[in-house]
């Protein structure tokens, strides 16, 4: 059995996949809540992840994928992970990364700051070292960068995976899953000015359970024009099975820009190929928006109510409008909790209650709030 | 217009509800994220809560569980009676596992409790009860209701019992008949199959057995109980039996016998012999038996089957094709056959020590109880009140103190009768065929049995019973006697005549001792040993517990009770029987006083050990503050939180002179390990921390804020949260939060 957990982090992403062979893959990292502010309903991701690892007697993830370098996908990672490139990022409490996944542009981009800069340095260190890394797409610029480090690109070819192929770490026999890489495309990284959202890591996972399969999309902050290209190319290659899905991690925190150039009045109408993609949802499929609650008014920033209306419509057409889930609304706006979806021979099951630590289990899985005699006479 | 759903009762307003359980359950439904209250109803003194629930349902569900299921929970006033849970959708699948039987064609009743409801009622919050319903539906949707190693479900489930020997069913008794005779009628009828010469047949109504062997059966289903021959015929066609053909030929065969005229006034008892498989291709795993009494005479049924006719008070056979009629109206009654006990009971009790008229009440006349009482009574000790509502069944013979002569009788009454017979004294023992919970309703009996006796011996081994007894007002001192670890460990907890320490507090102290003393480690851990089924019903299981071990431990127990019945002080004693060399060792647990604080409606009972440990940890960490979590248990019904001990600060905690943030590294595993080690007797009940220096133990703003957060999280499962703050001197400040109420003393 496999599972996917979507964490409630506001307009930010982090999802954890546990594969059938118990390997753990974290997709993006955003530290979330800090401090004890009651109004801040986001989870504290480091605490959540440490609790997961502790229950599994582990101090590492098998894979940590950073889909792109925006702060809502990497912030605080340098405080949480054991990073090999500098001593100051190493300590007993830090969590190790067996395999780091990044799109090529993450390594190539200059001028990064804060968490993104540190993670880029770690990725570079690992690529130079030749282990513990997988880079997605092989633009010319990456070859040039490797040459500049006196490394022959062919000596690192085994660490680089191009769009249109599967990541070699997972197969039907190894992990009972295939991870098919749809993007980034090579040409996007070689463009003079890199648009991070357009050069993000986008992949599609097929989970095998005996003869049955279930499929999931992870699309980072990918805009509609890249989705169009992904669908166009996949259809052209007659790989429709790589478009079908049972759970879709909605792009860009429910922004209309992931669907179309036009926001629409009440509902965003997706461009043709994007609509085709959402038509591939299977019966009772799930659409997960990693975002703040859906507003009732029109807003500039995501989540956009128009996009939400479209996604909710897709969920309804496929069997259940309640399967459009917003991380900061589930189960309630007052008390959002991680969304756990289990995948087994019966398909997908949203573990509404039984998968979530409540009561005693919740209290003893997290640090307490601040207590103590301050202000007491 | 017919509805897709059943309804139950008449709608009423929330404010008209009278039962605490109903009110709290409605509140838990209202705050549940995946349940929605539809209405509240009443019927015949019952209070009903109708709501929709959205279970965890896979995209490819195994059973027809819908996105929304409509459920009705029915509460009675008596809190010891389990609530009924009905699935109101008319198309709700009948073939799911763990359904109780309802009326034929009525709403499906979910079977939520493997254990006796009364033994868990004191720990069951309305939130947990709702979670059980939610989980039941979720497991049904994903096909996880039944584990592979569980026995197959029975063909049908019924409550009335019939004791029989399977060997008899295969025999040809020639001039004898297999008759089904009534052993005991009340409170539940119990029958026995006996081979009887025709001349000795009891007068009608009496049943003549007809064994019917079916094809192997593999589906795991519980069907409705058929109530007519027509319904049973449909059911049996699934297993390759044409009941009508069988009965027609059996009637014709009987008609050909001598004295057939006499038999026409008797009725058939159809005994089904069902070989069962786990899957189509599998071997036969077990053979199940079921019986149905035909509530019509053989003659009358023969007419309906079209094979007999009556003319001028004489019976005649109809030749030619038989055409059955009106079988729908031919009623049957299902009963549950139980294989008879075939071994003789060897009663090796010892003793003849002293005679006494001291009054003693024994609660529970099970394995250990019946033996200890019997041991003591045979020594002439005591005038007994014996309370137990169980009836004696064949499987009890393996370790019950009485002979099969009492089969079918109430255990308490039988034991009393045995003692009275043994001592030739009717007043030597009095049996009460009821559970101890029902004594609340009869003040005179409660006084006689629970207040005016020298001692109450609790042999029930039921946390629910011991908790109930402990909290009774003005009662006699209790000594609790029970076996653990498949009988190898005997525990006796005695309050002593002075009653300075209460049984419920002493039980917590025992649990604490098992995690803090290496030589007691694992004592309370559930062994998970094999269980034996003695009939086809879900709950008809018993543990493996050899008579020789029961006898050994009962001998120790009766000797201890005899010696210590007048002991003034409390004690906790443990005897362990070594499997290797059969040595018996005894250890005792040091008992302590308890600090009792009332916080609002709740009572918090803190062991002295808890306070001592908090003081010790506080001192060790000065000038910083420190803390950790509290371990204990709760009685939800009585609104009591027991704090037995504390865990020190996790290593990732932050400790400052005026601030403490409790970490969590290793905490969840430790709490879960302790919970398992102590057989659920100790779990997390709250938090503690110290105030350093000369600061008082009064809660700070931060403390109150942190505590409200804990209480909110604990409240998700309906539990209160306790916080203890230990200052430099005196007892700790106690905070308790439950359902948005926060108070401290």
Can you tell me the ipTM of this complex?
0.83
Measured between beta carbons, the chain B residues lying within 8 angstroms of A322 are: 54, 67
C-alpha closest to that of B467 among B424, B423, B506, B411: B506
Residue A341 binned pLDDT confidence (cut-offs 50, 70, 90):
very high
Q: Do B661 and A47 touch (CB under 8 A)?
A: no
Among B59, B143, B671, the residue with its CB nearest the CB of A364 is B671
| B242 compared with B421, residue with greater pLDDT | B242
In this predicted model, which residue has the larger pLDDT, B628 or B487?
B628
**How much is the pLDDT for B270?**
92
* The pLDDT of residue B317 is above 90: no
Q: What is the pLDDT of residue B540?
A: 53
Q: Which residues contact B703 (CB under 8 A, 6 or more apart)?
A: A371, A372, B689, B723, B725, B735
pLDDT at B147 over 70: no
Q: For A155-176, what is the mean pLDDT? A: 93
B664·A93 Cβ contact <8 A: no
pLDDT in tens, A190-247: 565 666 667 899 999 999 987 789 999 999 999 999 999 999 999 999 999 999 999 9
Q: Which of A92, A207, A368 to mutate: most B Cβ within 10 Å?
A: A368
B692: contact with A, CB 8 A cutoff: yes
Q: Which residue, among A36, A214, A360, would best test binding to B if mutated, counting the most B CBs under 10 Å from its CB? A: A360
Chain A contact probe: residue of B32, B35, B52, B60 with most A CBs at under 10 A = B60
Tell me the per-residue pLDDT of A18-37, one tens digit each, with 9 for 90 and over: 999 999 999 999 998 887 78
Distances (CA, A) of B352 to A198, A322, B359, B373, B426: 93, 73, 18, 13, 19
pLDDT in tens, B69-106: 999 999 999 888 889 999 999 999 877 777 775 555 67
| C-alpha to C-alpha distance for B724 and A46, rounded to whole angstroms | 28
Residue range B207-229: mean pLDDT, rounded? 74
Find all residues with CB under 8 Å of B313, minimum gap 6, and list them. Answer: none
A-chain CB neighbours of B666 within 8 Å are: 54
Among the ranges given (A27-31, A167-171, B179-183), the one the predictor scored with the smallest mean pLDDT: B179-183
Best residue in A371, A375, A377 to probe B by mutation, most B CBs within 10 Å? A371
Cβ within 8 Å of residue B319, ≥6 positions away: none
pLDDT exceeds 80 at position B530? no
* Cβ atoms within 10 Å, residue B6: 18
Is B34–A377 a contact, with Cβ atoms under 8 angstroms apart?
A: no
Structure confidence at residue B612 (pLDDT): 93
- pLDDT band with cut points at 50, 70 and 90 for residue B741: low
- What average pLDDT does the segment A325-339 reach? 94
Instruction: Report the C-alpha gap between B645 and B35 in whole angstroms.
Output: 37
Give the mean pLDDT of B672-680.
89
The β-bridge partners of B733 are B725
How many CB pairs below 8 Å do chains A and B form together?
171
pLDDT in tens, A74-98: 999 999 999 999 999 998 789 999 9
pLDDT higher than 60, residue B350: no
Is A331–B692 a contact, with Cβ atoms under 8 angstroms apart?
no
Q: Which residues pair with B734 in a beta bridge?
A: B724
Q: Kindly state the DSSP code that residue A258 receives in the 8-state scheme.
A: G
Are B695 and A361 within 8 A, CB to CB? no
Q: Please tell me which of the candidates B33, B658, B703 has its beta carbon nearest to residue A331.
A: B33
Coil vs helix vs strand at B708: helix
Confidence band for B272, pLDDT divided at 50, 70 and 90: confident
Q: What angle do CA B139, A322, A273 make, to 5 degrees?
A: 120
The answer to whether B385 touches B432, Cβ cutoff 8 Å, is: yes
Range with top average pLDDT, A279-288, A346-355, B285-294 = A279-288
Tokens found for residue A347 = 């398909």
> Count of CB atoms within 10 A of residue B114's CB?
10
pLDDT of residue A127 exceeding 50: yes
As a whole-number percent, the residues of chain A with pLDDT over 70 amount to 96
Higher-confidence residue: B730 or A64?
A: A64
* Pick from B117, B146, B37, B89: nearest CA to B437: B117
B349: its two tokens? 């009790």
Nearest to A363 among B54, B665, B713 (CB): B713
Chain A's closest residue to B714, CA to CA, is A359
Residue B527: pLDDT over 90: no
- What is the pLDDT, as a whole number, of residue B314? 82
CA distance B508 to chain A (A): 19
Smallest Cβ–Cβ distance between B664 and the set A322, A358, A367 belongs to A367
Name the nearest CA neighbour of B402 among B436, B355, B432, B366: B366
- For B429-448, what is the mean pLDDT? 84
Task: Report the pLDDT value the prediction gives residue B167, as an integer from 0 to 100.
Answer: 67
> In whole angstroms, how far apart are CA B414 and each of B212, B258, B340, B390?
35, 41, 19, 11
A155-159, B76-80, B396-400, range with the lowest pLDDT: B396-400
For residues B572-596, average pLDDT: 92
Beta carbons of A360 and B714 less than 8 Å apart = yes
Q: Which of B694, B679, B684, B685 has the alpha carbon at shortest distance from B727? A: B694
Q: Is B496 in a helix, a strand, or coil?
A: coil
A223: nearest Cα among A264, A194, A189, A257: A257
pLDDT 10s digits, B374-387: 888 877 787 899 99
Element spanning B699, H or E:
none
* Cβ atoms < 10 Å from Cβ of B531: 10
CA distance A44 to chain B (A): 13
Q: Does B143 touch chain A (CB under 8 A)?
A: yes
Interface test with B, best of A363, A365, A367, A370 (most B CBs within 10 A): A363
> For residue A350, which phi and psi values (nearest 5 degrees)?
-75, 115
d(CA A322, CA A31): 28
Is the CB of B618 inside 8 Å of chain A's CB atoms? no
**Residue B625 touches partner A, C-beta closer than 8 Å:** yes
* Alpha carbon distance B288, B274 (integer Å): 5
CB atoms within 10 A of CB A242: 23
Contacts A352 to B, Cβ<8 Å? 33-34, 54-56
Residues on chain B touching A360 (C-beta within 8 angstroms): 671, 683-684, 714, 717, 719
**Most distant pair of Cα atoms in chain B: their distance:** 107
Query: Do the chains contact at A361 and B138, CB–CB below 8 Å?
Result: no
Contact B664 A372 (CB under 8 A): no
- Taking residue A26's Cβ as centre, other Cβ atoms within 10 Å add up to 25
The average confidence (pLDDT) of chain A is 92
The distance of Cα A249 from the centroid of its chain, to the nearest Å, equals 8
């Amino acid at each position: 059995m496999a599972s996917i957990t979507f964490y409630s982090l506001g307009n930010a992403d982090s999802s954890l996949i546990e594969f059938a062979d118990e390997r753990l893959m974290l997709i993006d990292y955003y530290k979330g809540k800090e401090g004890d502010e009651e109004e801040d309903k986001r989870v504290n991701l480091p605490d959540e992840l440490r609790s997961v690892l502790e229950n599994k007697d582990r101090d590492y993830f098998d894979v940590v994928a950073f889909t792109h370098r925006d702060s809502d996908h990497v912030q605080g990672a340098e405080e949480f992970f054991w990073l090999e490139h500098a001593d100051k990022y190493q300590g007993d409490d830090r969590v190790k990364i067996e395999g780091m996944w990044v799109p090529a542009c993450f390594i190539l981009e200059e001028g990064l700051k804060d968490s993104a800069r540190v993670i880029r340095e770690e990725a570079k260190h690992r690529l130079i070292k030749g282990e513990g890394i997988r880079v997605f797409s092989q633009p010319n610029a990456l070859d040039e960068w490797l040459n500049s480090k006196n490394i022959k690109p062919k000596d690192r070819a085994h660490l680089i995976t191009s769009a249109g192929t599967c990541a070699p770490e997972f197969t039907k026999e190894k992990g009972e899953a295939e991870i098919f890489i749809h993007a980034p495309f090579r040409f996007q990284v070689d463009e003079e000015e890199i648009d991070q959202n357009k050069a993000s890591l986008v992949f599609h996972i097929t989970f095998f359970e005996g003869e049955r399969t279930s499929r999931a999309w992870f699309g980072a902050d990918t805009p509609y024009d890249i989705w169009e290209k992904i669908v166009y190319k996949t259809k052209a290659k007659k790989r429709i099975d790589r478009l079908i899905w049972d759970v879709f991690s909605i792009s860009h925190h429910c922004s209309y820009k992931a669907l179309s150039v036009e926001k629409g009045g009440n509902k965003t109408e997706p461009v043709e190929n994007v609509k085709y993609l959402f038509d591939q949802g299977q019966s009772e499929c799930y659409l997960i928006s990693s975002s703040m609650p859906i507003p009732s008014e029109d807003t500039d920033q995501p989540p956009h109510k128009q996009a939400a209306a479209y996604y909710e419509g897709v969920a309804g057409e496929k069997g259940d409008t309640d399967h459009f889930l917003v991380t900061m609304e589930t189960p309630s706006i007052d008390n959002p909790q991680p969304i756990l979806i289990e995948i087994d021979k019966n398909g997908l099951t949203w573990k509404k209650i039984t998968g979530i630590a409540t009561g005693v289990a919740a209290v003893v899985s997290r640090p307490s709030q601040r207590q103590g005699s301050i202000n007491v006479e | 217009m017919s509805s897709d759903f059943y309804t139950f009762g008449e709608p009423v307003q929330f404010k008209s509800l009278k039962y605490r359980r109903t009110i709290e359950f409605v509140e838990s439904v209202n705050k549940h994220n995946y349940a929605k209250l539809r209405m509240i109803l009443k019927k015949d003194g019952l209070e009903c809560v109708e709501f929709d629930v959205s279970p965890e349902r896979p995209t490819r569900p195994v059973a027809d569980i819908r996105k929304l299921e409509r459920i009705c929970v029915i509460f009675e006033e008596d809190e010891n009676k389990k609530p009924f849970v009905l699935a109101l959708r008319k198309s709700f699948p009948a073939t799911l596992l763990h359904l109780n039987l309802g009326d034929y064609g009525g709403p499906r009743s979910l079977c939520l409790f493997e254990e006796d409801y009364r033994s868990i009622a004191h720990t069951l919050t309305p939130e947990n009860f709702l979670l059980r319903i939610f989980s039941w539906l979720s497991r049904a949707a994903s096909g996880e209701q039944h584990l592979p190693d569980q026995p197959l479900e029975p063909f049908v489930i019924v409550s009335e019992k019939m004791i029989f020997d399977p060997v008899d069913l295969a025999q040809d008794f020639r001039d004898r008949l297999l008759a089904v005779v009534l052993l005991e009628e009340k409170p539940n009828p119990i029958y026995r199959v006996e081979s009887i010469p025709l001349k000795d047949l009891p007068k009608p109504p009496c049943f003549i057995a007809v064994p019917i062997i079916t094809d192997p059966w593999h589906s795991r289903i519980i069907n409705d109980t058929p109530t007519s021959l027509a319904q049973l015929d449909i059911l049996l066609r699934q297993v390759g039996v044409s009941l009508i053909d069988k009965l027609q030929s059996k009637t014709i065969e009987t008609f050909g016998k001598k004295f057939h005229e006499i038999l026409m006034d008797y009725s058939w008892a159809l005994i089904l012999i069902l070989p069962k498989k786990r899957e189509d291709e599998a071997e036969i795993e077990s053979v199940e038996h079921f019986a149905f009494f035909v509530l019509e005479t053989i003659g009358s049924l023969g007419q309906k089957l079209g094979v007999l006719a009556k003319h001028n008070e004489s019976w005649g056979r109809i030749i030619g094709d038989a055409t059955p009629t009106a079988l729908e109206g031919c009623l049957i009654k299902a009963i549950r056959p139980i294989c008879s006990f075939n071994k003789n009971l060897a009663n090796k009790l010892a003793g003849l020590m002293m005679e006494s008229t001291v009054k003693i009440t024994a609660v529970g006349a099970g394995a250990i109880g019946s033996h200890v009482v019997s041991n003591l009574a045979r020594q002439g000790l005591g005038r007994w009140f014996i309370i137990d509502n169980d009836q004696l069944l064949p499987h009890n013979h393996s370790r019950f103190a009485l002979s099969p002569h009492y089969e079918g009788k109430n255990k308490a009454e039988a034991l009393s009768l045995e003692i009275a017979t043994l001592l030739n004294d009717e007043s030597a023992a009095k049996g009460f065929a009821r559970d101890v919970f029902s004594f609340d309703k009869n003040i005179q009996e409660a006084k006689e049995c629970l207040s005016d006796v020298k001692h109450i011996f609790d042999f029930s081994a039921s946390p629910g019973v011991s908790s109930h007894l402990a909290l009774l007002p003005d009662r006699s001192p209790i000594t609790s006697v029970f076996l653990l670890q498949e009988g190898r460990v005997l525990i006796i907890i005695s309050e002593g005549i002075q009653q300075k320490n209460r049984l419920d507090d002493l039980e917590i102290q025992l649990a604490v001792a098992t995690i803090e003393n290496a030589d007691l480690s694992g004592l309370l851990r559930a062994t998970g040993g094999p269980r034996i089924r003695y009939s086809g019903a879900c709950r008809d299981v018993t543990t493996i517990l050899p008579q020789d071990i029961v006898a050994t431990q009962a001998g120790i127990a009766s000797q201890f009770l005899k010696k210590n019945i007048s002991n003034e002080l409390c004690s906790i004693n443990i005897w362990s029987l070594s499997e290797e060399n059969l040595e018996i060792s005894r250890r005792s647990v040091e008992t302590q006083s308890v600090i009792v604080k009332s916080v609002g409606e709740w009572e918090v009972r803190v062991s002295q050990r808890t306070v001592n440990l908090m003081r010790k940890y506080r001192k060790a960490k000065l000038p910083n503050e420190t803390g950790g979590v509290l371990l204990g248990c709760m009685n939800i019904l009585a609104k009591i939180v027991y704090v037995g001990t504390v865990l020190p600060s996790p290593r990732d905690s932050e400790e400052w002179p005026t601030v403490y943030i409790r970490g969590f590294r290793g905490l969840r595993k430790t709490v879960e390990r302790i919970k398992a080690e102590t057989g659920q007797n100790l779990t997390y009940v709250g938090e503690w921390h110290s105030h350093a220096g000369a600061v008082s133990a009064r809660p700070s703003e931060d403390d109150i804020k942190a505590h409200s957060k804990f209480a909110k999280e604990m409240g998700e499962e309906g539990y209160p949260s306790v916080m203890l703050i230990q200052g430099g001197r005196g007892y700790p400040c106690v905070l308790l939060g439950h359902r948005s109420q926060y108070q401290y003393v």
